[in-house]
Amino acid sequence: MRLNGIVQLSRWDMERINDALVYVEKHYRRPISADHLSLEVNLSKEKLQAGIQRQTGLTLHLHVLKVRMDKAKELLRNTDHPVKSIAAATGFKRASHFIDTFKRYHAQTPNQYRLQLTA
């Protein structure tokens, strides 16, 4: 339901939103769409998107990217896996897309990030 253009969310809806956030944390390696996630947590797409925005301050797409970037930074810090492997482990089909996305978020490439940790 909308009130003054704002999607109203019940306690039950917010529990589903939390379920969705947990799902993203567990399944960030897979493609995650609003359509799929709304079915997964039994919530309308509109409520899902509004709730995620309310909980995280980000759209679903940006939240998924943030989770992936956080996991990538963890892997870069704690492993010596090649960037291509980290890209695949964090849900990117192409290493080049991963590198571009990482650079956009962190103003440096994954290799630069890793090198700064040892400096």
- The answer to whether residues 9 and 49 touch, using CB atoms and an 8 Å cutoff, is no
Nearest residue to 17 (alpha-carbon basis) of 64, 61, 55, 68: 55
pLDDT per residue rounded down to tens, the chain (119 residues) = 555 567 889 999 999 999 999 999 999 999 999 999 999 999 999 999 999 999 999 999 999 999 999 999 999 999 999 999 999 999 999 999 999 999 999 999 999 999 998 87
Contact residues for 39 (Cβ-Cβ < 8 A; gap 6+): none
Give dist(CA 96, CA 94) in Å, integer: 5
- The answer to whether residues 47 and 9 touch, using CB atoms and an 8 Å cutoff, is yes
Q: Which residue has the tokens 């019940």?
A: 10
64-118 folds as Arc Repressor Mutant, subunit A (1.10.10)
In the chain, what are the domain boundaries? 2-57, 64-118
- The whole-model pTM stands at 0.90
